[in-house]
Structure 1
Amino acid sequence: MILLWIRRDLRCFDNPALMNAVANGCRYALFISTPQQWDLHHEAPIKLDFIRRHLLQLEQHLTEYGIKLIHLTSTDFTAQSELLIRFCREHHIHRVLANSEPEFNEQQRDKAMLSSGLDIEFYDCDVIAPRGRVLNQSGEMFKVFTPFKKAWLKHVREFGVECTGRPQHKSKALSSLCCDFTGGGDPLPSLIKSSSLSASWPLADEVMEKVIPNFLSAKVNDYEERRDFPGIKATSGLSPYLAIGALSPRTLYQQLMARYPLLIEDVNHPAFCWLNELIWRDFYKHLLFHYPRLSKQTPFLQKYAQTLWPGKQKEFDAWSKGKTGYPLVDAAMRQLINTGWMHNRLRMVVASFLTKHLLVDWRKGEQFFMSHLIDGDLSANNGGWQWAASTGCDAQPYFRVFNPILQSQKFDPNGDFIRKYLPELNDIPTKYIHFPHDYMEKHGVSDIYWPPVVEHKTARLRAIAFYKG
């Protein structure tokens, strides 16, 4: 018997492990929950709910291939490995098929399982260009994004992008098969309490059918001009689906290229800006593969490894609660806390504010994001935070400190986003909405909003001096 091990690949389209499982007559798939491991990795409740909903969808799809999905529960990766090995022995399974996961703990788990003697085959399907194939002339991973992008484009032009499509349906669905598995497993909804935390996000089937075609036809050409304005719904909104493997990046690439066949040759095309974001995603995935220490909360630039960050807990608390006194920062944090998502421009703004204005260790922000984000992904989250903190690969220079007031004036000029998440500022005139303190004091309404935790110019000079030291 062959077993399909479901991990972070909750889809049927471009799922090489599933494709090979169907081709080899697989009849059982297994998903093993690891609540304690999720806690260690700071997985957000809304993300776990999103996984639960897609597992239920996947369960229905697998029946079309004559495959029964079984759900078991362990604690951490060690217990998960032991449970899988025991399950295979008890049910005479001689081969396991799974898609790879690049993070350090996941790689250690998989290596241990291979050394146990279990016949397990892994496939890569979470990046567009295969990891280990985009290298510099010395055969090493790039440390700057732009040359990586050039090599990435060269590789894709030369070798193309493999996308396995969707398996053909079996002539007989599961309901007509005689299933001989006797251990029923846990009900899938027990993965996490059904709280509908992610209910506002449609399932991937609807996204494939409606959202992606609409984005590629109506929004992608304006993406570069509109993507930085949080008050406009101009981004694709696909990151949560990529994070749990409900969508394949290779599928997105192929759909983009089907609409714009010459895009790979024309970096000046308006739609290339969105492809560039997919390449950034690959960049961070490749970095994680080549530098496993990034999974261990270690800065890419080793000179910052022993840095003692002087930021205070009370300042971190003000930031995490959206009470810094800078409206754009506070509105962004409210968006994260209330919805489980944050606009990408705002992620840069609030990360810069925490690490530069408040000099708080970037790892605290990274963990806070992971514990709230529906699209929490270690490689992208780590890469983004280290970029903002100037400790990462191809990060912003340490002397670049975002001015949250100017960012607000530029990207939320009318204060629409601010007012949405900070209704207490509804009556503040637009001219003062980006930093309302002088106006409030003048009109005797300073009690409606909290004072700034730091003064921008002072904080900027302090940050530059700190990094120089």
Structure 2
Amino acid sequence: MTRLMWFRTDLRVLDNPALMHSRRDDDEATLAIYFVTEKQWQQHDLGDRRTNLMKQAACNLRESLDGLGIPLLILNKETFKDSSEALLEIMERFDISELNYNLEYEINERHRDIELGQWCKANDVQVNKFHDQCIVPPGDLKTQNDDPYRVYSPFRKAWLRLKKDYIEAPSAAPSQQDMRTISHDIRDYWAEKNWAPDFIHDALWDPAEDTAHEQLKEFLDKEGLQYHEQRDIPELDATSRLSFYLALGVLSPRQCIYTAWQPNGCLLSGGETGLDNWINELVWREFYRHLIVAYPELCKHRAFRPDYENIPWRDSAGDFERWCKGETGYPIVDAAMKQLLDQGWMHNRLRMVTAMFLTKHLLIDWHKGEKFFSEHLVDADLASNNGGWQWSASTGADGAPYFRIFNPVTQSERFDEQGHFIARYLPELNSLSPKARHFPDDKARKACAYPEAIVEHKAARQRALDTFKSMEN
């Protein structure tokens, strides 16, 4: 009898509850499997850079598991349906007695797991499921009316009450397995069928588990205590950039929060302001995951607020293309979009600025921006990306009121005071004074060959206000 560990969005050996359960004793052999489903990933709007890094992370995981005597089979299947069929065939062929995995919360993944669970029940295969993407499992926090929380602040208070300033320590790597416990038939099949994914080493992103832990420690040792003061300044490398590792599951939320909780006086709130703020961002991430479970329509990209489902968005392919390319004529917006295209990542403050610019200044459907971000971000995941876009577009849970419209010039002056970030991604503006970089005049634009502003702020703001207000009638 053999146990099978199914890796999904949890490409790590440390603090992996499903993997630890698979290796809880040495009585049964443990095998591992991972599916590369590129067609499915493309249907879910994940871009080439992100999928390349996922394949690299899977190969890194295989090396780590080899050191533990746990063979990982990587199979290339186009879709979830194909991978489920392959999984059933393998479980039947090798008399798998137990299937272990960590839960994914998106609706397609949940439907896949339900169908698989029905087969396992009919075939006497025990299924063990674990939560590793949330400290508090979705559904465990309810209002006094037994409803899911729709607003972040009371969700956070309930989350803190439940945790009571205690975070369980992350688990270590599982014990090493004696390969002799695995039959020759299985070992031959794993060796024969194993697929070596083609990937390109990314110069900017290393999806290695050791690198993730080094980056976590370095952030908390250096920038963590000043996080509340520096987090909004894009010129500084003051954010953790750990969202990339969390999105791939190379790092767990518990590892992050526990590592911050220790130097924070073993407090989740009320300790060092910088660490409190960073922990708060991780709870935000958890909030969005609770939402897609409570409101699965979000996975279908429906507006959280039904009254804003039919906003008369502008259909301007030209304006959308200028936004995508970073050619709007608003330097902070353009520099942010250039950063996204160059790095596969964007500073969080600028994610809000660019998203609000598209949905409010250009009055273009947030779905288009959400899809573009997902295709280019290395840290894209549906819950956080959808939550952030609906916040900016004022259509979501705890969204910004429709009358809150960031002035991109004011945002630039406040958070990139000297225009250093702008100059880094728009070198044509280097010759301008720091003050002029925020919004060059006509003469400076011509001299720098920088485009005219795509829209005038005051007029665009009024258009957005009128449009959103009309939805209330």
1:211 and 2:208 are equivalent in the alignment: no
8 Å Cα contact 2:15/2:171 also seen in 1: yes
1:216 shift after superposition: 1.3
Counterpart residue type for residue 335 of structure 2: A
8 Å Cα contact 1:355/1:388 also seen in 2: yes
1:47 shift after superposition: 1.6
Instruction: State how 1:373-452 maps to structure 2 within 5 Å.
Output: 373-440=377-444, 445=447, 448-452=449-453
- Check 1:310–1:205 CA distance in 2 against 1; reply closer, same or farther (3 A cut): same
8 Å Cα contact 2:57/2:207 also seen in 1: no
- Check 1:186–1:387 CA distance in 2 against 1; reply closer, same or farther (3 A cut): farther
Counterpart residue type for residue 144 of structure 1: V
Separation (CA, whole Å) in 1 of partners of 2:182 and 2:81:
34
- Check 1:138–1:238 CA distance in 2 against 1; reply closer, same or farther (3 A cut): same
Aligned to 1:221: 225
| Structure 1, 422-431 or 355-364: larger mean CA deviation | 422-431
Aligned to 1:101: 104
Aligned to 2:8: 7
What is the number of residues matched between the two proteins?
Answer: 461
Separation (CA, whole Å) in 1 of partners of 2:454 and 2:260:
44
**Partner deviation per Cα, 1:75-134 (whole Å, 9 max, x = no partner):** 111121111111111222122111100000000100111122353221111112222112
TM-score, with structure 2 as normaliser = 0.93
1:17 and 2:11 are equivalent in the alignment: no
1:205 shift after superposition: 0.8
1:175 shift after superposition: 9.0
Separation (CA, whole Å) in 2 of partners of 1:344 and 1:148:
21
Aligned to 1:155: 162
Aligned to 2:343: 339
**Partner deviation per Cα, 1:232-278 (whole Å, 9 max, x = no partner):** 00001100000011001011111111112343251673320111101
Counterpart residue type for residue 40 of structure 2: Q
Separation (CA, whole Å) in 1 of partners of 2:271 and 2:152:
15
Q: Which runs of 5+ in 2 are unaligned?
A: none
Aligned to 1:165: 171
Counterpart residue type for residue 410 of structure 2: L
- Check 1:166–1:243 CA distance in 2 against 1; reply closer, same or farther (3 A cut): same
Q: Which runs of 5+ in 1 are unaligned?
A: none
> Is the partner of 1:71 in helix, strand or coil?
strand
Aligned to 2:372: 368
1:185 shift after superposition: 5.5
Segments ≥4 residues shifted beyond 6 Å: 175-178
Q: 1:110 aligns with which of 113, 122, 141?
A: 113
**Identical-residue share of aligned pairs (%):** 39
1:59 and 2:50 are equivalent in the alignment: no
1:17 shift after superposition: 0.7
Counterpart residue type for residue 175 of structure 2: H
1:406 shift after superposition: 0.7
Separation (CA, whole Å) in 2 of partners of 1:195 and 1:179:
33
1:196 shift after superposition: 2.1
Separation (CA, whole Å) in 2 of partners of 1:264 and 1:252:
12
Aligned to 1:68: 71
8 Å Cα contact 1:52/1:188 also seen in 2: no
1:65 shift after superposition: 2.8
1:33 shift after superposition: 1.4
- Check 1:288–1:185 CA distance in 2 against 1; reply closer, same or farther (3 A cut): farther
1:30 and 2:33 are equivalent in the alignment: yes
1:439 shift after superposition: 4.0
1:297 shift after superposition: 0.5
Aligned to 1:309: 313
Q: 2:138 aligns with which of 131, 153, 173?
A: 131
Counterpart residue type for residue 166 of structure 1: A
Separation (CA, whole Å) in 2 of partners of 1:125 and 1:433:
44
Counterpart residue type for residue 278 of structure 1: L
Separation (CA, whole Å) in 2 of partners of 1:456 and 1:326:
10
Counterpart residue type for residue 398 of structure 2: D
- Check 1:189–1:322 CA distance in 2 against 1; reply closer, same or farther (3 A cut): farther
Aligned to 2:51: 48
**Partner deviation per Cα, 1:159-199 (whole Å, 9 max, x = no partner):** x4345502443264x49976432323555542xx3222365
8 Å Cα contact 1:22/1:65 also seen in 2: no
Separation (CA, whole Å) in 2 of partners of 1:427 and 1:97:
59
Separation (CA, whole Å) in 2 of partners of 1:81 and 1:395:
37
- Check 1:200–1:167 CA distance in 2 against 1; reply closer, same or farther (3 A cut): closer
The root-mean-square deviation of aligned C-alpha atoms, in Å, is 1.9
Q: 1:247 aligns with which of 228, 232, 251?
A: 251
| Structure 1, 410-419 or 112-121: larger mean CA deviation | 112-121
Aligned to 2:149: 142
Separation (CA, whole Å) in 2 of partners of 1:175 and 1:322:
57
1:213 shift after superposition: 1.8
**Partner deviation per Cα, 1:39-69 (whole Å, 9 max, x = no partner):** 1001122222222222122112212332100
TM-score, with structure 1 as normaliser = 0.94
- Check 1:110–1:198 CA distance in 2 against 1; reply closer, same or farther (3 A cut): farther
8 Å Cα contact 1:311/1:358 also seen in 2: no
